[in-house]
């Protein structure tokens, strides 16, 4: 992934940008080869002969991607960046000759509106202009000659050691005339400086500093800088099982994912993003707290209508391809807990007090005082009937607990005695109705016999200690029923609960939670082994998707997934503290420990 903190592009190992939505994460893609093949749009820069050895890396502490192609006649390096945005978004690509010489090919095949619209292409003195409807792309290059074949702009050129060839692609509204794009060589340097300055602020200095910093950079890249929103992933419809139907659009701001992302960034010492997200939250959820949505657009949009795109074949034939997300209509009680917990953590970490933020929290808590009794669709967004999910009730307890602690620890006003009574009532009900004495385990939902991995969060949020016998019994039951090849499934697919055919990989966040539980039980060597196994599942540049398919031996689901990288950061911090003998590894990770 490369990105400019407003949108992101995915670059294949071979050097093709196969996914890019402009001008925003959730805008229509102009390159959709990822979901429909090369004829649906891509931007390729690669050796003409498909022989070379390919290795990739990010420059340290940055989102500057380098791909090295090595062949029998020489080697070249392709450098890809999306520089910090000026007036419009740019993608800059530089080809550097490293040794010998190599014949290269550039193909720009823009296909607007998710690969459905062929553009008009005009050649310019220093590049090309690609236009269709409201969208235009301006390609600038002064180093090679271009020609067009069937709506595709092509350049064939040779690069020798020490030579550089640069390209800049700029999106703009088609009714606006713009000049030549950025100097690509300067843009690479400026992008590197931007990311290094940001990375140098990182306060994490533990054992896994490389993996943690890469995760924090990834999370920063998934923020929407103008508004403060944070998207869950850069993609839509990458399948949870190859060939399956669980293909969802994750280019939106889930309150849950965004809140957890902020927690991870605060652990790294980044409070500016926390302040921006709090302001985004205040604008976005204004109004009746009973109308709180689980997700919004990057600027706080509420209407995210789910549609299918029948002209796209899907990733490796995984249909349907969807945009929008119907789960926006669901009630998920846990988001109240995640939002209020994160605002609490930000306050503890030193974010300046804001009266409006506390007023919002009180409004949410007031609704939750009775609303916690309602059934919901749960953290996994099941598309069956609403139920009384145990995790949802636990997170309602978290919301009440953090509200009480805010009054107690920060001297703010509120009906704290009433909140304590509700907090205690929720705790007692969960321990009674959410725990099965025959199994010796908490269960997925009241009156059920199944377990799900969200129960691993019970000690992580402070509901019960990690060494509580009920927690240990729950971990043992999850080990027995949800472990596959050392990884944890979210739950056993049950169409009566889920409303969808079964079949998905292991949800990576759940296995991170499992490692956290092992650490809290004193099983540190086991926890470290699980964590190292998870790190090894990342791709060649340290990125994680949503899930892992142990049978196929590959990452699956949307990519890169904020949730996975959030949990990587949290588990690394917890294991560091455990190794140092610090007792706070047994408690929820909050901002003041950064």
pLDDT digits (tens, 9 = 90+) for 127-169: 999 999 999 999 999 889 999 998 999 999 999 999 999 999 9
How confident is residue 593, by pLDDT bands cut at 50, 70 and 90?
A: very low
CA-to-CA distance for 283 and 277, rounded, in angstroms?
10
Which residue has 């690609």 as its token pair?
130
Structural domain boundaries of the chain? 2-197, 201-593
**Mean pLDDT, to the nearest integer, of 109-132?**
96
CA-to-CA distance for 566 and 433, rounded, in angstroms?
31
How confident is residue 585, by pLDDT bands cut at 50, 70 and 90?
A: low
pLDDT at 415: 96
Average model confidence (pLDDT) across the chain: 93
Classify residue 362 as left (phi > 0), alpha (psi -120 to 50) or beta: alpha
Residues contacting residue 432 through CB under 8 Å, at least 6 positions apart:
none
CA-to-CA distance for 115 and 109, rounded, in angstroms?
10
pLDDT digits (tens, 9 = 90+) for 215-270: 999 999 999 999 999 999 999 999 999 999 989 999 999 988 888 888 899 899 99
Q: Over 50: is that where the pLDDT of 495 sits? A: no
CA-to-CA distance for 532 and 509, rounded, in angstroms?
14
Closest Cα partner for 10 from 69, 62, 47, 63? Answer: 63
Q: Over 90: is that where the pLDDT of 535 sits? A: yes
Q: Over 70: is that where the pLDDT of 590 sits? A: no
pLDDT at 82: 98
pLDDT at 498: 54
Residues contacting residue 367 through CB under 8 Å, at least 6 positions apart:
289, 290, 292
SS3 letters for 377-430? CCCCCCCCCCECEHHHHHHHHHHHHHHHHHHHHHCCCCCHHHHHHHHHHHHHHH
Q: Over 90: is that where the pLDDT of 199 sits? A: yes
Closest Cα partner for 364 from 388, 394, 398? Answer: 398
Q: Over 50: is that where the pLDDT of 484 sits? A: yes
Residues contacting residue 168 through CB under 8 Å, at least 6 positions apart:
90, 91, 92, 93, 139, 140, 141, 180, 181, 182, 183, 184, 187
Q: Over 90: is that where the pLDDT of 407 sits? A: yes
**Mean pLDDT, to the nearest integer, of 531-546?**
98
Domain 2-197 CATH (choose: 1.10.287, 2.70.98, 2.60.40, 2.40.128)? 2.70.98
Classify residue 159 as left (phi > 0), alpha (psi -120 to 50) or beta: beta
Question: Residue 570 phi/psi, 5° resolution?
Answer: -60, -45
Q: Over 90: is that where the pLDDT of 493 sits? A: no
How confident is residue 350, by pLDDT bands cut at 50, 70 and 90?
A: confident
Dihedral, CA of residue 413, residue 417, residue 419 and residue 423, to nearest 10 = 140
CA distances from 299 to 134, 339, 406 (A): 20, 17, 28
CA-to-CA distance for 47 and 336, rounded, in angstroms?
51
pLDDT at 584: 63
**Of the ranges 47-56, 240-249, 511-520, which one carries the lowest mean pLDDT score?**
47-56
How confident is residue 451, by pLDDT bands cut at 50, 70 and 90?
A: very high
pLDDT at 592: 37
CA-to-CA distance for 478 and 456, rounded, in angstroms?
9
Structure-token pair, residue 324: 């929008």
CA distances from 357 to 230, 259, 579, 592 (A): 18, 14, 36, 19
Which residue has 């689980």 as its token pair?
294
CA-to-CA distance for 12 and 56, rounded, in angstroms?
10
Q: Over 60: is that where the pLDDT of 419 sits? A: yes
CA-to-CA distance for 113 and 52, rounded, in angstroms?
33
CA-to-CA distance for 404 and 420, rounded, in angstroms?
7
- 11, 3 contact by CB (below 8 A): no
Encode 411-431: b = buried (16+ Cβ within 10 Å), e = exposed.
ebebebeebbebbeebbebbe
Domain boundaries 201-593, CATH class = mainly alpha
How confident is residue 197, by pLDDT bands cut at 50, 70 and 90?
A: very high
């Amino acid at each position: 992934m490369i990105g400019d903190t407003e949108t992101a592009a995915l670059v294949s190992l071979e050097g093709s940008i196969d996914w890019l939505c402009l001008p925003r994460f959730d805008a229509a893609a102009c390159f959709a080869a990822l979901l429909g093949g090369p004829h649906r749009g891509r931007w390729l820069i690669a050796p003409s002969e498909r022989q070379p050895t390919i290795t990739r890396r990010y420059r340290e502490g940055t989102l500057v991607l380098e791909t090295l192609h090595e062949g029998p006649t020489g080697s070249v390096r392709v450098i890809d960046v999306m520089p910090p945005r000026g007036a419009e978004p740019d993608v800059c690509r530089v080809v550097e000759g490293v040794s010998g010489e190599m014949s290269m090919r550039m193909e720009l095949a823009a296909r607007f509106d998710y690969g459905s619209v062929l553009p008009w292409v005009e050649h310019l003195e220093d590049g090309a202009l690609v236009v269709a409807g409201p969208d235009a792309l301006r390609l600038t290059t002064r180093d090679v000659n271009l020609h067009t074949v069937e709506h595709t702009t092509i350049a064939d050129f040779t690069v020798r050691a020490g030579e550089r060839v640069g390209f800049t692609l700029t999106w703009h509204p088609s009714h606006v005339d713009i000049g030549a794009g950025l100097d690509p060589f300067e843009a690479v340097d400026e992008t590197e400086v931007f990311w290094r300055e940001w990375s140098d602020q990182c306060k994490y200095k533990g054992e896994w500093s490389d993996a943690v910093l890469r995760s924090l950079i990834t999370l920063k890249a998934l923020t929407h800088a103008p508004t403060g929103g944070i998207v869950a992933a850069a993609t839509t419809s990458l399948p949870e099982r190859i060939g399956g139907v669980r293909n969802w659009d994750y280019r939106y701001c889930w309150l849950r994912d965004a809140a957890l992302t902020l927690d991870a960034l605060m652990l790294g010492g980044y409070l500016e993003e926390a302040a921006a997200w709090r302001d985004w939250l205040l604008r976005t959820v204004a109004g009746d707290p009973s109308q709180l949505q689980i997700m919004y657009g990057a600027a706080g949009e509420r209407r995210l209508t789910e549609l299918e795109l029948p002209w796209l074949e899907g990733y490796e034939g995984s249909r349907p391809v969807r945009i929008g997300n119907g789960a926006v209509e669901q009630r998920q009680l846990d988001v109240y807990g995640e939002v209020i917990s994160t605002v609490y953590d930000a306050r503890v970490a030193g974010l300046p007090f804001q009266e409006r933020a506390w007023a919002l929290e009180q409004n949410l808590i007031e609704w939750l005082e009775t609303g916690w009794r309602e059934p919901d669709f749960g953290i996994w967004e099941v598309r069956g009937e609403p139920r009384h999910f145990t995790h949802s009730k636990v997170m309602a307890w978290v919301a009440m607990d953090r509200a009480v602690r805010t009054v107690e620890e920060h001297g703010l006003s509120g009906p704290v005695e009433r909140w304590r009574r509700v907090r205690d009532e929720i705790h007692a009900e969960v321990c009674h109705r959410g725990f099965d004495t025959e199994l010796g385990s908490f269960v997925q939902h009241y009156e059920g016999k199944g377990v799900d991995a969200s129960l691993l969060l019970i000690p992580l949020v402070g509901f019960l200690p990690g060494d509580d016998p009920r927690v240990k019994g729950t971990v043992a039951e999850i080990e027995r029923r949800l472990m596959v090849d050392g990884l944890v499934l979210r739950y056993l697919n049950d169409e009566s609960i889920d409303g969808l055919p079964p079949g998905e990989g292991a949800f990576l966040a759940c296995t991170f939670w499992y490692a956290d539980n092992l650490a809290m039980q004193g099983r540190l060597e086991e926890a470290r082994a699980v964590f190292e196994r998870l790190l090894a599942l990342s791709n060649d540049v340290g990125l994680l998707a949503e899930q892992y398919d142990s049978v196929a031996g590959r990452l699956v689901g949307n990519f890169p997934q904020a949730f996975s990288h959030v949990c990587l950061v949290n588990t690394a911090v917890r294991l560091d503290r455990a190794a140092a003998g610090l007792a706070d590894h047994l408690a929820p990770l909050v901002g003041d420990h950064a």
